[in-house]
Chains A and B, each alone.
Chain A
Amino acid sequence: MRGPPVAKPLVLAGLACALACGLFLTLGARGDWGFVLAFRGQKLAALLVVATSVAWSTIVFQTVTGNRILTPSIMGFDALYLLIQTALVFTLGGVGFAALGQRLQFGIETALMLGAALALFAALLRRSDDLGRLVLTGIVFGILFRSLSSLLNRLIDPSEFAVVQAASFARFNAVNTDLLWIAAATTTVCVALLARRSARLDVIALGRETAIGLGVDHDREARRAMALVAVLVSVSTALVGPVVFFGLLVSALAHAAAGTWRHAVLLPLAALISATVLVGSQTIFERVLALETSVAVVIEGLGGLVFLALVLKGAAR
């Protein structure tokens, strides 16, 4: 099982990522360096957490479902998270919701998300050999969650709506740093658990029957991997809001650059590429062009183009 040389893309992506991070921290900084670095460092850490969780959740999701087009966010996972959040505001009221505090909100939302996602996957994975059905079901779910979420938004009190609205758009320039440390810890745990499974993920990528033939308890492993995906999606959505096509952009780049099927290489490479793109475009737009709001638009636009290209090429696998 010796693949092509794999160290090179990892090293290159590592250098690019380090460069992007360096520029992000230092470019255009004036005044007290200690303050600037502390302030920017926190923001950088948040971006890195988001980049990692988007990259890993997308790659793992695609491996388990055996496709390269569908991602957790195209399937409306982040929309599901927002739906849960809106439903909480709806039931508890804006005041009750705020009284929970951000961390408890995050904990409750993630727990609910885990349950909902597992139920969804169980239904989805039963026939995951049927790719057309899988993609279609995924997209229908995505639309359903978004519509339900906006319906609930209309039903709740306008003053409470403000609480929810703030969370409903991707915002890379104003990441939620209150949740940063708990999010970073959660992501680290998920990453560690998935990294330990990287060889098993390689086998799962061969398909259900082949994986069972090689002694991997496919259904149990798929459920566990998907639970971790759900937690990672919760993390990134809580920090920056929903991003639909970014994961797809990252996975397409990582698969093209890695030239290997080994998750031990694919996953770290995807995280590095994801961080480079996110931090790099943030640096360019915020520091160089001073266009703070456009990052999400550009990243999503690029990802959308990749989505179109994949669909037109029919490169579902």
Chain B
Amino acid sequence: MIETQSLCVSLGGAQVVHDIDLTVERGRLTALVGPNGAGKSTLLAALGRLVPPAAGAIRVDGTEIGRIPSPDLARRLAILRQNAVIAPRLSVADLVGFGRYPHSGGRLTAQDHDIVRDCLADLDLTDLAGRYLDTVSGGQRQRALIAMTLAQTPDALLLDEPLNNLDLSHVRRVMAVARARAETGAAVAVVLHDLTVAARHADHIVALKSGRVFASGPPEEVVTPEILSALYDTPLEVHDIAGKRVVLTV
């Protein structure tokens, strides 16, 4: 479980995330939504200790995040960045193998290889395992990065726009994998732009606007035309189709 208390984060001298109190509970899939520039990536980076908080506290399973030694934290928490850049020429399997580094250092055990193989299969990458990252498509690359994050087998999984570049079937696949991790007891937070997907898959939605929590609660409470139209400052419709909420722009 990750909780924050009056968390403020600054980037380049300006505070962009203000006074956030939020809990990403174990066993639940929490979706972070909000307009561009709302501070979703910044908040997630702070939860993943990539950006130090300007004020406030972040606790992972009750311990202040800064007090957890970094190799220890890497076994418990994994984060996928919105724009991950990988410079060296690596194969897909090598990249996913790096997810095991916190557990085994540079030498993968047989168990590590099993986990890597499972993560590749979960993301439908088995056939691409030997391909170099600079020779795969944008969506395939994104899936490889997700698989690497999953290979860390974290208790807290943070995914920043994992659905970028993915086709419909892989959107479903990634959300199913994220949900499966939540159901085995992990705390999962996912930044999403597709509100229909958020309404469908999340247990809890946190909507950010201008660096503050604008609304939060279960999808039934947050995914309403009033809240969403105010969140995005644009008219949005929410329809019930076969018992599922579908969000449309007009």
Q: List 24 A-B contacts (CB under 8 A).
A: A1-B93, A1-B97, A1-B98, A1-B100, A2-B93, A2-B97, A3-B94, A199-B106, A199-B107, A206-B88, A206-B98, A207-B86, A209-B81, A210-B81, A210-B84, A212-B50, A213-B48, A213-B78, A215-B73, A215-B102, A216-B70, A217-B70, A261-B89, A264-B106
Q: Give A66's nearest chain B residue, CB to CB.
A: B87
A3 to B108, CA, bound (A): 12
CB-based contact B101/A215 at 8 Å:
yes
Q: A-side interface residues toward B, CB under 8 Å? A: 1-3, 66, 129, 198-199, 202-203, 205-207, 209-210, 212-217, 261, 264, 317
Q: Give the contacts of B41-74 with A (CB-CB under 8 A).
A: 48-50, 70-74
A199 to B100, CA, bound (A): 12
A-chain residues with CB within 8 Å of residue B101 when the two chains form the complex: 199, 203, 214-216
Binary CB contact string for chain B from 3 to 29 against chain A (1 if under 8 A, 0 otherwise): 000000000000000000000000000
CB-based contact A215/B71 at 8 Å:
yes
A192 to B49, CA, bound (A): 31
Number of interface residues of B (CB under 8 A): 33
B-chain residues with CB within 8 Å of residue A210 when the two chains form the complex: 81, 84, 86, 98
CB-based contact A215/B88 at 8 Å:
no
Taking the closest CB of chain B, its distance from the CB of A45, in whole angstroms, is 31
5 smallest CB-CB distances across A and B, nearest first, come from: A215-B74, A199-B106, A1-B97, A215-B71, A261-B88
A199 to B94, CA, bound (A): 13
CB-based contact B73/A203 at 8 Å:
no
Additional A-B contacts beyond A202-B98, A213-B79 (5; CB < 8 A): A2-B93, A129-B85, A215-B75, A216-B71, A317-B87
Q: Give A201's nearest chain B residue, CB to CB.
A: B106
A-chain residues with CB within 8 Å of residue B230 when the two chains form the complex: none
Q: Give the contacts of B105-126 with A (CB-CB under 8 A).
A: 105-108
B-chain residues with CB within 8 Å of residue A205 when the two chains form the complex: 87-88
Q: B-side interface residues toward A, CB under 8 Å? A: 48-50, 70-75, 78-79, 81, 84-91, 93-94, 97-102, 105-108, 152
CB-based contact B70/A215 at 8 Å:
yes
A-chain residues with CB within 8 Å of residue B107 when the two chains form the complex: 199
Taking the closest CB of chain B, its distance from the CB of A9, in whole angstroms, is 15
User: Which of A66, A199, A317 is in CB contact (< 8 Å) with B105?
Assistant: A199
Q: How many A-B residue pairs have CB under 8 A?
A: 72
A3 to B95, CA, bound (A): 11
Main secondary structure of the interface of B (DSSP, over half): loop
User: Which of A3, A207, A212, A216 is in CB contact (< 8 Å) with B49?
Assistant: A212
CB-based contact B94/A1 at 8 Å:
yes
CB-based contact A209/B84 at 8 Å:
yes
User: Which of B72, B73, B87, B105 is in CB contact (< 8 Å) with A207?
Assistant: B87
Q: Give B72's nearest chain A residue, CB to CB.
A: A215
CB-based contact B86/A206 at 8 Å:
yes
B-chain residues with CB within 8 Å of residue A3 when the two chains form the complex: 91, 94
CB-based contact A207/B85 at 8 Å:
yes
CB-based contact B50/A209 at 8 Å:
yes
A-chain residues with CB within 8 Å of residue B79 when the two chains form the complex: 213
B-chain residues with CB within 8 Å of residue A202 when the two chains form the complex: 98, 106
CB-based contact A1/B81 at 8 Å:
no
Taking the closest CB of chain B, its distance from the CB of A123, in whole angstroms, is 17
Taking the closest CB of chain A, its distance from the CB of B48, in whole angstroms, is 7
A-chain residues with CB within 8 Å of residue B99 when the two chains form the complex: 214
CB-based contact B71/A1 at 8 Å:
no
Taking the closest CB of chain A, its distance from the CB of B84, in whole angstroms, is 7
Taking the closest CB of chain A, its distance from the CB of B2, in whole angstroms, is 15
Interface-centre pick from B48, B79, B98, B152 (highest chain A CB count, 10 A): B98
Taking the closest CB of chain A, its distance from the CB of B227, in whole angstroms, is 33
A37 to B225, CA, bound (A): 88
